[in-house]
Structure 1
Amino acid sequence: MTDAEPTFEGIDAGSELDGRRFVIGLYLALSGVAALMGAALSVVLTEVSEPLTLFGFISLPPTMLGFALYGGLTVAAVLGVPLVAILYLSER
């Protein structure tokens, strides 16, 4: 073996955390953080009385649950659509 050849002695090829699981975990974590931030935002915006509109046609109440759903689902959709496209294209 020469000095130019890399060695992979410390890397476990059978590790449970592969790239796909990491990306999906990160996606779920970011969606969860957005839902938590939506719930926190509902505490600050107490004077909002009109319903939230998700995707232009789904009406959500201006409550803590409504803000959490709005934040979580919006980020999940914005990140999820390209993620599904990438996962689909990587299989082909």
Structure 2
Amino acid sequence: MTDAESTFEGIDAGEGLDGRRFVIGLYLALVGVTATMGAILSVVLTGVEESLTLFGIIALPPTAAGFALYGGLTVAVILGVPLLAMIYISEKR
């Protein structure tokens, strides 16, 4: 059996989901979960009245949308920059 023919419990390993699609899907899922958790956190922290500061520049209101944007964008940048660097480097090789 060659690498192209490898299977795992009857599922063809070369069919459907490749590595790039999996990593991007995982990235989007993590960003979505973080944004959701930010919105949930805003419900728990009802006493917060000062605005959130995204990257030390952008002021966001202490609402569910503000917390969701803060969490989602922070994780998107923190995970996205290295991911884009890996994609760029892998395509140059």
**TM-score grouping bracket, smaller chain normalisation:** 0.7 to 0.9
Larger radius of gyration: 1
TM (norm. structure 2) is 0.87
Which structure has more strand as a fraction of its residues? 2
Higher relative contact order (CA 8 A, sep 6+): 1
- Which residue number in structure 1 is paired with residue 63 of structure 2? 63
Consecutive unaligned residues of structure 2, counting only runs of 5 or more, are none
Root-mean-square deviation (CA, aligned residues, Å) is 1.5
Counterpart-to-counterpart distance in 1, 2:2 and 2:88 = 31
Query: Is 1:50–2:50 an aligned residue pair?
Result: yes
Aligned residue type for 1:89: I
Consecutive unaligned residues of structure 1, counting only runs of 5 or more, are none
What is the SS of the residue equivalent to 1:56?
coil
Counterpart-to-counterpart distance in 1, 2:6 and 2:20 = 23
- Structure 1 stretches of at least 4 aligned residues deviating more than 2 Å after TM superposition: 5-13
Give the % identical residues. Answer: 67
Counterpart-to-counterpart distance in 2, 1:38 and 1:23 = 22
